[in-house]
Chains A and B, each alone.
Chain A
Amino acid sequence: MARKLLLAALAVAVVGALVGGAVFLGLFERSVVAKAVEQPLSAEQMKGLAKRGAYVAVAADCYACHVVKGGAPWAGGLPFETPLGTIFSTNISPDKEHGIGSWTRAEFHRAVRDGVGKHGHLYPAMPYASYRKLTADDVDAVYAFLMSREPMKVANRANHMPFPLNIRQGLTFWNLVNLSSDAKTEIAGRSAMWNRGRYLTDALAHCGECHTPRNLAMGMKESAYLEGSELEGVMAPDITKAGLARMGFDPLVFASFMKSGISAQGAMTNQMFEVVHFSTQYFTADDLAAMSAYLFDLDKLPESVTPPTPPQPVAVSAEVATSARASYLAVCASCHGVEGQGIPHVVVPLATNASLRLADARNLNKVILTGIPAQRFPGLERMQPMPGFAGQLSDQQVADLSNWLRASWGGQQPSVTADEVKRLR
């Protein structure tokens, strides 16, 4: 009996090792790249594609990650502080030594869509799980555009990943679990506008990489598509139809918010500020409309809309209201206004602010404590810096203020505790 069990266990271990080994070697990897791209593009074709590629690269927001402030264009070096270690973006200028200058068309396609680069597997900080859905034409266009840039002789920085995560071949396991082989770009029965919006959202702008929560395998959780997720200590909000409406957006305002970064709902902050700065402000009007139509699940944008009903105020205790109102008048009201109206072109309003309407109060609390730097927006708009009030307000005062603001203007239950604030300091 014992002998049989041992044999069975041994068999399971051997099969397991074989399967694991096969996965590790990439035998189960499914490429979505067609054989046709083995054929190089002619110089003529490259020239023709480069201009459109510039727009595709903007829509895919490649530059935001493949440059550092003050660094050489397209030369990478931006750190990604993941829970598992630090990864640096790479040089994708056409430098033959450090960049992608010696990469073939097919090698580029496989890197972008399969996550397998010329020198091995990419980490999924590169959103190839989303770029997988890009059309071959768009990848060609980006390839042609990047190859038309100036080569930058800038060496790539070494990642800081602990063993065994530093063995890139191990990403075959991640890819097996998390990569979809469904690269269909169109859903029959929906309008061209809706489908373009879906392509922009899921493939090019890779919205889900931040707005969809991740599962235990660190893959995007399909069942919670775009429902919001935590990212570097702040919440990337729920951008489903319901989530956008909760924040106070209608489809028309949302489309213009992606263009300008400013609306009655507030101004873009954190990583979304950069997304507007590098990417969505350059979207064509059609693409902005398409993205909004898709996120609101409409086949076309309406001519006029009724804005979502503002949330009903929630009552707070007299104690909280007294403490909060005193803090508000002391340190908030001079800029945000006694009625939360803000100052046009200078300070965002709070009465209609999306941050007050989110289920999670973290973003609001963090901003109260640490402030926001001055930000320049498209169209010569500029929001002044907001000071942080960590030094002026106690944990309890911040909690009271946050609860009162969220309850009276955001319609949220006053559930923030002083402990929660303390942890954010």
Chain B
Amino acid sequence: MTIPTQKLSLTINDKVVGPIDVPETMMMQDFLYEYLNLTGSRMGCGQGICHACTVVLEKADGSLEEMRTCITGAHWFAGRKVRTVEGQAKRDANGAITELSPVQQAFIEHFSFQCGYCTPGFVTGATVLLDQLRRNPVKREALEQVISEALDRHICRCTGYVRYFEAVRDLVLRTPGLVKA
């Protein structure tokens, strides 16, 4: 039995990928792993609950959205722009990392993660939160609540939530324009 395929083209980490023949029933997570060797997004629950598998969807209006790759078909992303955890840091011409993203840097500075399995999802979630705050800054007193709600769905089995939380709060407070007076 052959699995029916369909041509898929999309932009991943600023590079155009495809057209590639991809099984029409394949999930995005498997596509990233098996076709592109992008293994940074983690397969956790496979049911869209733990959010270890998320990637950033860069929408046409420039805003960002978090997408779960384990429960979203690869073909849903056809023609869309995606940023995986591999595309967060700045790299030189040889692909070597020259500068981490502000979220990644903050997580390192705060010793946010232990085993690191959930970290790609947290990087994605926090990156999307920062983008939202840039568009709609919140009052200082609402910040803790906003961070909790935004990252609440991410599960960390080492229970390192507090340091993720502190890293994001610290980053938001020292980035101009995210918090209203």
Binding site for A on B (CB under 8 A): 24-25, 27, 46-49, 65, 68, 70-73, 75-76
- Provide a sorted-by-A list of 27 A–B residue pairs whose CB atoms are within 8 angstroms: A326-B75, A326-B76, A329-B24, A329-B25, A329-B73, A329-B75, A330-B72, A330-B73, A330-B76, A331-B73, A331-B76, A333-B25, A334-B27, A334-B46, A334-B48, A334-B70, A334-B71, A334-B72, A334-B73, A335-B48, A338-B25, A346-B47, A347-B47, A385-B49, A387-B48, A391-B65, A392-B72
- CB-nearest residue of chain B relative to A325? B24
Does A178 have its Cβ within 8 Å of any Cβ on chain B?
Answer: no
Residues of the B chain whose Cβ atoms lie less than 8 Å from the Cβ of A346: 47
How would you classify the secondary structure of chain B's contact residues: helix, strand, loop or mixed?
loop
- Residue of B at shortest CB range from A328? B73
Q: Which residues of A contact B68 (CB under 8 A)?
A: 387
B49 proximity list for chain A (CB < 8 A) = 384-385
Residues of chain B with a CB closer than 8 A to A334's CB: 27, 46, 48, 70-73
Shortest beta-carbon distance from B153 to chain A in Å: 10
**5 tightest A-B CB contacts, nearest first:** A330-B76, A330-B73, A334-B71, A329-B73, A384-B47
User: Are B75 and A330 in contact (CB-based, < 8 A)?
Assistant: yes
Nearest opposing residue in chain A for B69, CB measure: A334
Q: Which of A326, A329, A334 has the most CB of B within 10 A?
A: A334
Q: In the complex, A346→B47 CA distance in Å?
A: 9
CA–CA, A330 to B77, complex, Å?
9
User: Given the complex, which residues of B lie within 8 Å of A335, measured CB to CB?
Assistant: 47-48, 71
Residue of B nearest to A346 (CB): B47
Starting from the known contacts A330-B76, A331-B72, A334-B72, 17 additional A-B residue pairs (CB-CB under 8 Å) come to A326-B75, A326-B76, A329-B24, A329-B75, A330-B73, A331-B71, A331-B76, A334-B46, A334-B73, A335-B48, A347-B47, A384-B47, A384-B49, A385-B49, A387-B68, A392-B72, A392-B76
Report the separation of the CA atoms of residues A334 and B46 in the bound assembly, to the nearest whole angstrom: 8
Interfacial chain A residues near B27, Cβ < 8 Å = 334
Docked Cα-Cα span, A329 to B5, in Å, equals 12
Shortest C-beta distance, B7 to chain A (Å), equals: 13
**Distance (Å) between the CB of B126 and the closest chain A CB?**
19
Q: How far is the CB of B132 from chain A (nearest CB, A)?
A: 13
- Most chain A CB neighbours (cut-off 10 Å) among B24, B49, B65, B73: B73
Provide the bound-state CA to CA distance between A329 and B31, in Å: 14
| Given known A346-B47, A384-B49, A387-B48, contact A333–B76 (CB-CB < 8 A) | no
Q: Shortest Cβ distance from A79 into chain B, in angstroms?
A: 24
Within 8 A of B (CB), among A312-351: 326, 329-331, 333-335, 338, 346-347
Closest chain B residue to A327 by CB distance?
B76
What are the residues of chain B within 8 A of A385 when measuring CB–CB? 49
Q: Min CB distance, A267 to chain B, in Å?
A: 15
Q: What is the distance, in angstroms, from B5's C-beta to the closest C-beta of chain A?
A: 12
Q: Name the CB-closest residue of A to B76.
A: A330
Find residues 352-406 in chain A having any chain B CB closer than 8 Å to their own CB. 384-385, 387, 391-392
Residues of A within 8 A of B76 (CB): 326, 330-331, 392
CB distance from A60 to the nearest CB of B (A): 36
Q: Report the Cα distance A385→B48, complex, angstroms.
A: 9
Minimum distance in angstroms from A96 CB to a CB of chain B? 41
CA distance A392 to B48 in the complex (A): 15
- With A and B bound together, what is the CA distance between A323 and B24 in angstroms? 13
Across the two chains, which residue of chain B brings its CB closest to A387?
A: B48
Bound CA span A333–B65, Å: 21
Q: Chain A residues near B72: list those with CB within 8 A.
A: 330-331, 334, 392
Q: Give the complex CA separation of A82 and B72 in angstroms.
A: 38
Across the interface, which residues of B come within 8 angstroms of A329, CB to CB?
A: 24-25, 73, 75
Alpha-carbon distance between A384 and B27 when the two chains are bound, in angstroms: 19
Instruction: For the complex, give the distance between the alpha carbons of A392 and B24 in Å.
Output: 18
Tell me which residues across on chain A come within 8 A of B71, comparing CB atoms: 331, 334-335, 387
Note all chain B residues with C-beta closer than 8 A to A326.
Answer: 75-76
Minimum distance in angstroms from A182 CB to a CB of chain B: 51
Q: CA of A329 to CA of B70 in the docked complex: distance in angstroms?
A: 12
List A contacts of B73 (CB < 8 A): 329-331, 333-334
Q: Compute how far the CA of A284 lies from the CA of B70 in the bound complex, rounded to whole angstroms.
A: 42
Interface centre among B46, B47, B65 (most CB of A within 10 A): B47
Q: In the complex, which residues 165-211 of chain A have their Cβ closer than 8 Å to any Cβ of chain B?
A: none
Residue of chain A at shortest CB distance from B73: A330
Cα distance A330–B65 in the bound complex, in angstroms: 16
A338 to B46, CA, bound (A): 15
Note all chain B residues with C-beta closer than 8 A to A384. 47-49
Given the complex of chains A and B, what is the CA–CA distance between A138 and B40 in angstroms?
Answer: 63
Give Cα distance in the complex from A329 to B25, angstroms. 6
Give the CA-CA distance A335 to B46 in the complex, in Å. Answer: 9
What residues of chain A lie closer than 8 Å to B48, measured between beta carbons?
A: 334-335, 384, 387
- The distance from the CB of B50 to the nearest CB of chain A, in whole angstroms, is 11
B181 to chain A: closest CB distance in Å?
31
A344 to chain B: closest CB distance in Å? Answer: 13
Max chain B Cβ within 10 angstroms of own Cβ: one of A338, A347, A387: A387
The answer for the CA separation of A384 and B70 in the assembled complex, in Å, is 15
A387 to B72 alpha-carbon distance, docked (Å): 11
Closest Cβ of chain B to A98, distance in Å, is 34
Q: How far does the alpha carbon of A334 sit from the alpha carbon of B30 in the complex, in Å? A: 12
Nearest B residue to A385 via CB reads B49
Which B residue's beta carbon lies closest to that of A347?
A: B47
Cα distance A335–B47 in the bound complex, in angstroms: 7
